[in-house]
Structure 1
Amino acid sequence: MRPGRAFRAGLLTVAVLGASMSVGSQATAAPECPDVEVVFARGTDEPAGIGQVGRAFVNTLKPMLKGLSIGTYAVEYPASFDFLEAAAGANDMSRRIKSTVADCPDTKLVLGGYSQGAAVVDIVTTAPMAGFGYTEPLPRAVVPHVAAVVVFGNPSARLGQPLTRMSPDFGAKTADLCNKADPICSLGRDWNSHITYQKSPLVKTAAEWVAKLVHATGTDSTGSS
């Protein structure tokens, strides 16, 4: 898919987003220049923080990365029913990525999102240029610093454009995870399967994926060992 078309597809996914009614929790304070930082965008209507899915993912990941310090950053955006505000989340996520690479070049970045937060990740990882409210496209120089990407309940997957296919730079590092009956990321009809990812085995699948890629990058986020 051409980059411009992929970007438009990422933005259009907000049209099929629903509300995630689960309650989130605040992100933990990250140590200065942690070995790994998880930058996570919560789902629709969750309180500020990384949300329940983000928290479950981080808690599952920590034991798999023993000996490494793990920080979290909660993407700041409304996560409201105005789904076009996903662009605001994409801007904040991009700014965080760029500032972390500048200030902590050895930190391995993990990008993540759930539901509308997954659409935020779609925009960041597929947009080659600014547009449609997104003003912070990533320079290619930051790509090697991103060790892995995980998204849950990604609306673009329902449109036949999972992030693994949409993003030429990050697709190979991405786990785009969808519960079988989730109506947001598949043709399923079980709404409950969309709002219970924090209890799903897919959280462990995502953590295992990330742990494997973090370990594979060696001692720094540029892939040297």
Structure 2
Amino acid sequence: MPLITPTLLPLLLALSTLSVAVPHSPLISRADTSCSDIHILVARASTEAAGDGVIGSVAAAVISSSSKTVTQEAIDYPALLSPYDTSSQAGTAAVKKQFAAYAASCPDAKIVLMGYSQGAHIIGDAMCGGGGLLIGAKTEPMASSLTSKVVAVLQMGDPRHTKDETYHVGTSTGSGLFPRTSDQSCESYASVFRSYCDSGDTFCDSGLNTLAHLMYVTVYGTAAARWVVEKIGG
């Protein structure tokens, strides 16, 4: 998407409120973390300021309630609405790079991925493959030697939400702006995926309700954090 269209302009303005609507949890850089039982990679939404973004509060809730040692790291990527294709491709590459770096340093650690909006898109693409048509050249998923370390993938408002996949939670009955093709399906990882999308959401349900796109942490954040804690073993 090389240009901001009139359709996307209201969403751009709405998304710009994400960075002030909910307090962020503190960013923990890779350089400041030692090996932990669980490492959370957090990908912020489009237009949010650099850092972990609104979904970082879910990661913080996991850290505070888990009995395990858990660290958190923000994905370093542009998070732009325009050009969306190059931003999301850079984000997918950043997920793969940061994931591989942590796994190399801490091979016994398990990994959790969290992403909101474009952040949800890029963590899904890193796991399952991405690109094509309006979102750039196709990219390969991470190797199974890395994806096997993943114990939970939490997505909120994913533009690649695809109707009828089994790991979706929420009221959506449609697909997002860039639904997954069969060769990029995440269904084989359904046991560790949870993707929240509600009806009318501009990005994940191809609707007209921008407010729905902004409400996932408020509506589902507590339940999402509880699910992640369960997946990592308490």
TM-score by length of 2: 0.73
* CA contact 1:91–1:135 (8 Å) conserved in 2: no
| 1:93-112 per-position Cα deviation (integer Å, ceiling 9, x unaligned) | 01111122211012110011
Alignment of 1:80 with 2:63, yes or no, is: no
> What's 2:229 paired with?
211
Q: How many Å separate the matches in 2 of 1:172 and 1:83?
A: 29
SS in 1 for 2:148: helix
Q: How many Å separate the matches in 2 of 1:141 and 1:128?
A: 19
179 and 63 in structure 1: CA distance in 2 versus 1, 3 angstrom threshold = farther
193 and 147 in structure 1: CA distance in 2 versus 1, 3 angstrom threshold = same
Alignment of 1:167 with 2:186, yes or no, is: yes
The residue type equivalent to 1:56 in the other structure is S
162 and 210 in structure 1: CA distance in 2 versus 1, 3 angstrom threshold = farther
> What's 1:56 paired with?
57
Query: By how many angstroms is 1:42 displaced?
Result: 0.6
Q: RCO higher in 1 or 2 (8 Å CA, sep ≥ 6)?
A: 1
* Deviation beyond 6 Å, 4+ runs, structure 1: none
Query: Unaligned stretches of 5+ in structure 2?
Result: 162-173
* CA contact 1:79–1:86 (8 Å) conserved in 2: yes
- Counterparts of 1:20-59 in structure 2, within 5 Å, are 20-21=15-16, 22-23=18-19, 25=24, 27-29=27-29, 31-52=33-54, 54-59=55-60
* CA contact 2:200–2:207 (8 Å) conserved in 1: yes
Q: How many Å separate the matches in 2 of 1:124 and 1:151?
A: 13
Q: How many Å separate the matches in 2 of 1:179 and 1:204?
A: 16
The residue type equivalent to 2:218 in the other structure is K
> What's 1:106 paired with?
108
* CA contact 1:91–1:136 (8 Å) conserved in 2: no
> What's 1:222 paired with?
none
The residue type equivalent to 2:114 in the other structure is G
Q: How many Å separate the matches in 1 of 2:142 and 2:191?
A: 17
The residue type equivalent to 1:72 in the other structure is Q
Query: By how many angstroms is 1:188 displaced?
Result: 4.6
> What's 1:177 paired with?
196
- Counterparts of 1:93-132 in structure 2, within 5 Å, are 93-127=95-129, 132=136
Q: How many Å separate the matches in 2 of 1:60 and 1:162?
A: 30
SS in 1 for 2:154: strand
Aligned length: 199
Q: How many Å separate the matches in 2 of 1:55 and 1:42?
A: 8
Q: How many Å separate the matches in 2 of 1:142 and 1:170?
A: 13
Query: Unaligned stretches of 5+ in structure 1?
Result: 1-10, 217-225
141 and 75 in structure 1: CA distance in 2 versus 1, 3 angstrom threshold = same
> What's 1:144 paired with?
148
Q: How many Å separate the matches in 2 of 1:108 and 1:213?
A: 11
| 1:45-79 per-position Cα deviation (integer Å, ceiling 9, x unaligned) | 10000101x2221122123312x222111111111
Query: By how many angstroms is 1:37 displaced?
Result: 1.1
After TM superposition, the structure 1 stretch with the greater mean CA deviation from structure 2, 112-121 or 29-38, is: 29-38
RMSD of the alignment, in Å?
A: 3.1
TM-score by length of 1: 0.76
76 and 34 in structure 1: CA distance in 2 versus 1, 3 angstrom threshold = same
- Counterparts of 1:8-27 in structure 2, within 5 Å, are 18-19=11-12, 20-21=15-16, 22-23=18-19, 25=24, 27=27
Query: By how many angstroms is 1:148 displaced?
Result: 0.6
The residue type equivalent to 1:62 in the other structure is I
